[in-house]
Amino acid sequence: MARLNINGKTVDVNAEPDTPLLWVIREQVGLTGTKYGCGIAQCGACSVHINGNVVRSCGMPLSSVSATDRIVTIEGLSPTSSHPVQKAWAELDVPQCGYCQSGQIMAAASLLGKTANPTDAQIDEAMTNICRCGTYQRIRAAVHLAAGNKSAATSIEEQFQIKA
């Protein structure tokens, strides 16, 4: 039995100490917004926050997390889906299949928590999660939009031109 603090709530879970936090979150706690993608901390679909830092939960055993660590999953980012990152993602219609987007949003929220107005280079550095649909251009624009950097945030209308 282990005690966790997830999304501000104390949760007791019954899992072996070597169980990856990802599977504790998904199968014991029942929060499935955090996704399995690779199991080797490569793709970032499993990204959550621990004490404000983004971590890849598939590579983190339960034993490495203590009851005082504040774990935040996508479900806990905002009670009303109104975190600036979520709003920017909605504004720019970022997701395609959406499977990686929980992780992308958690990575972006962590970045903005540390760097309020990141440059493109800082976005490159921080946003290393895989999106197989290729939403990267909109992710970049949405991070800028969430940071309030409207000149760098390409709008939907600026994503294309029509030459009839």
Residues near other proteins, by CB under 8 A:
15-16, 19-20, 23, 26-28, 30-40, 42-43, 45, 73-75, 77-78, 80-82, 86, 89-91, 93-102, 105, 123-125, 127-140, 156-157, 159-164
Give the tokens for residue 8.
């501000």
Q: How far apart are CA 106 and CA 59, in angstroms?
A: 16
> Is 17 or 68 the residue whose CB approaches other proteins more closely?
17
Closest to other proteins by CB, 68 or 162: 162
Toward other proteins, which CB reaches closer, 55 or 127? 127
Q: Which residues have a Cβ under 8 Å from the Cβ of 44 and sit 6 or more positions away?
A: 37, 56, 100, 103, 104, 107, 128, 129, 130
The DSSP letter of residue 61 is B
Q: H or E stretch including 52?
A: none
Quote the least distance from Cβ 68 to other proteins, whole Å: 24
- CB of 120 vs other proteins, minimal distance in Å: 9
